[in-house]
């Protein structure tokens, strides 16, 4: 292979490029990104970037690598500020604007796009948070005295609520499901997340949806499905993300809530691989297809996809125990594994006390673990899950930790 084209210039795209050079690939690399910016890190956007209170200090964009490093050290041709519009797998070209970029190997790393609420287009004061430009706008809107409504108590919505509370703003979070993070951690631990919001003075309203966002040109009020209304100066919508696959329609690459890949991250279309938030691949460790929106797997998948693309004869499956973290107020929530459990058991600390460890069981296997402020132990459970540890042994391990 002589020409590698990586589409999507964020975490996965950058890691794909770095892995190619590390593996000794000396051919041409083109990195195509629709944002103007160099690849940057997203997790700080809803954390440190929003938290910083000094209005005179504009926080730095969390860029991973300088332009000269990418150009000179990695010998990458950057094509930023232009989206790929077509993947022509027959003639092996990616269309970027009106230019054709030929490839031998292509890595799709176009990530995901924030979902919006219908009927809010053009209404000022309504934001989503996915890009650095979004974060700049949200940060500017979190001004003194602003009343904030956050729609969706997932990671991003809850982190925005935390940042707004740290600034002393009145915050209402509207969540249509029974608890925050219910899809990610299940209902019992969702309750623990509920109490993090409540003790920090956030008005969390679960089981109710947004019926209407009212305002003349600018948001004024959010009307909920139970008939209540909340006055708002800004609304941040955190209702999930959709994989950015529209540009692949008609390419022959199979799409189903993401780019469908096998365990080696190959799309099955010759020379085309995918990684990161856009990829739905078969994770052998849990024997199921997954599409994760987590930092760690996005970075790892990109490296794995490129290694497999460069040497398909010895392609290795990518398997992982999903891992994410999220910072709420002064607490760190971490989760490893999958939450579809028959039983969730708190094995250390207590939910109301702001520090706990909970384990997730499916059959007789440990499949997940959640900690709130349990940084030192979470990766140990990740290892146990990787080893397909028996539930009984996991409980014994928890007991020994508690005793220590």
* Distance in Å, CB of 294 to ligand FAD, minimum: 4
- Touching ligand FAD, residues 102-161 (CB under 6 A): 109-112, 129-130, 155-156
Segment lying near ligand FAD (by CB under 6 A), choices 65-73, 198-206, 261-269, 324-332: 324-332
Report in angstroms the alpha-carbon separations of 44 from 50, 57, 387.
Answer: 8, 16, 31
How many Cβ atoms from other residues are within 10 Å of residue 66's Cβ?
11
Instruction: Select from 277, 321, 369, 397 the one that contacts ligand FAD (CB under 6 A).
Output: 277
Min dist. Cβ of residue 240 to ligand FAD (A) = 11
| x/- track of binding to ligand FAD for residues 193-222 (CB under 6 A) | ------------------------------
The span from the CA of 392 to the CA of 259, in Å, is: 37
Q: Which position among 4, 13, 300, 335 is part of the footprint of ligand FAD (CB under 6 A)?
A: 13
CA distances (Å), origin 11, targets 8, 16, 63, 140, 347: 9, 9, 10, 25, 35
In sequence order, which residues have a C-beta less than 8 Å from that of residue 167 and are 6 or more positions away?
53, 142, 144
Least separation in angstroms between CB 43 and ligand FAD: 3
Nearer to ligand FAD, 45 or 398 (CB): 45
Size of the site for ligand FAD (CB under 6 A): 37
Strands across the sheet containing 288-290 = 259-260, 279-283, 288-290
CA–CA separation, 248 and 274 (whole Å): 12
In the complex, the smallest distance separating the C-beta of residue 122 from ligand FAD, rounded to whole angstroms, is: 22
Sign for the pseudo-dihedral over CA of 232, 233, 239, 245? positive
16 binds ligand FAD (CB under 6 A): no
Q: List the beta bridge partners of residue 350.
A: 355
Q: Which residues bind ligand FAD (CB under 6 A)?
A: 7-13, 32-35, 42-43, 45-46, 83-84, 109-112, 129-130, 155-156, 244, 247, 276-278, 293-295, 298, 324-326
């Amino acid at each position: 292979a002589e020409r590698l084209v990586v589409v999507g210039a964020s975490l996965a795209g950058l890691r794909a490029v770095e892995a190619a050079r590390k593996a000794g690939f000396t051919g041409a690399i083109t990195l195509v990104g629709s944002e103007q910016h160099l690849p940057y890190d997203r997790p700080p956007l809803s954390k440190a970037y929003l938290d910083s209170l000094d209005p005179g200090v504009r926080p730095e964009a969390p860029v991973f690598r300088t332009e000269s490093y990418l150009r000179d050290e990695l010998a990458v041709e950057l094509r930023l500020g232009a989206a790929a519009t077509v993947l022509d797998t027959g003639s092996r070209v990616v269309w970027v604007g009106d230019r054709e970029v030929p490839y031998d190997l292509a890595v799709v790393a176009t990530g995901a796009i924030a979902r919006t609420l219908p009927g809010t287009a053009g209404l000022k004061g309504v934001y989503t948070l996915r890009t650095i430009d979004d974060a700049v706008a949200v940060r500017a809107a979190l001004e003194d005295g602003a009343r904030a409504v956050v729609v969706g108590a997932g990671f991003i919505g809850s982190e925005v609520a935390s940042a707004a509370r740290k600034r002393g703003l009145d915050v209402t979070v509207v969540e249509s499901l029974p608890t925050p993070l219910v899809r990610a951690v299940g209902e019992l631990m969702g309750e623990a997340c509920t109490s993090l919001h409540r003790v920090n003075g956030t008005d969390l309203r679960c089981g109710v949806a947004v019926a209407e966002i009212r305002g003349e040109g600018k948001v004024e009020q959010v009307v909920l499905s139970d008939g209540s209304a909340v006055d708002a100066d800004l609304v941040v919508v955190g209702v999930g993300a959709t994989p950015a696959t529209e540009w692949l329609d008609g390419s022959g690459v199979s799409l189903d809530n993401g780019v469908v890949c096998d365990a080696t991250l190959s799309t099955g279309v010759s020379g085309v691989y995918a990684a990161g938030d856009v990829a739905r691949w078969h994770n052998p460790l849990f024997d199921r297809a997954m599409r994760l929106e987590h930092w760690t797997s996005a970075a790892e998948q990109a490296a794995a996809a490129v290694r497999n693309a460069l040497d398909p004869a010895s392609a290795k499956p990518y398997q992982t125990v999903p891992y994410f973290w999220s910072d709420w107020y002064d607490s760190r929530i971490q989760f490893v594994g999958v939450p579809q459990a028959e039983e969730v058991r708190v094995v250390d600390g207590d939910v109301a006390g702001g520090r706990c460890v909970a384990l997730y069981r499916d059959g007789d296997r440990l499949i997940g673990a959640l900690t709130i402020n349990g940084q030192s132990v979470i990766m140990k459970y990740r290892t146990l899950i990787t080893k397909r540890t028996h539930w009984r042994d996991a409980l014994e391990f928890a007991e020994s930790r508690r005793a220590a």
